[in-house]
């Protein structure tokens, strides 16, 4: 599968591509050759865990009122040390109709 449309989060790095918006969908992207589980995301996603296929993506939704403290998640394919975090958490934006 090709890289998904933005916004998406690379589960191996935590890098966010595009802008995550309250109440809107985004993709968890797994560029590896192994299936993955992304979990512990219930503080900012509508579901607390997602299965992400090898070389593929899974759609998720940001909560209308996400708890952004930490922006940590667990990934069975994380390439770094420790627990992964969204790398640009300030990218969360309020949807235009929500701000009105």
Each residue's pLDDT expressed in tens, for the chain with a length of 100 residues: 689 999 999 999 989 999 888 899 999 999 999 999 999 998 889 999 999 999 999 999 998 887 766 677 888 888 777 777 777 654 566 655 554 4
Query: H or E element: which one contains 95?
Result: none
The domain locations on the chain are: 8-91
Structure confidence at residue 70 (pLDDT): 67
* pTM score: 0.84
8-91 placed in CATH 2.60.40: yes
Structure confidence at residue 47 (pLDDT): 94
Query: Do 35 and 53 touch, CB atoms closer than 8 A?
Result: yes
């Amino acid at each position: 599968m090709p890289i998904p449309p933005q916004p998406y989060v690379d589960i191996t790095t935590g890098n966010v591509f595009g802008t995550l918006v309250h109440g809107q969908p985004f993709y968890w992207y797994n560029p590896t050759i192994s299936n993955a589980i992304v979990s512990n995301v219930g503080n900012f996603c509508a579901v607390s865990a997602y299965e992400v296929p090898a070389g593929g993506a899974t759609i998720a939704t940001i909560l209308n009122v996400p708890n952004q403290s930490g922006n940590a998640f667990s990934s069975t394919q994380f390439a770094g040390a420790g627990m992964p975090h969204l790398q640009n958490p300030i990218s969360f934006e309020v949807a235009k109709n929500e701000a009105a």
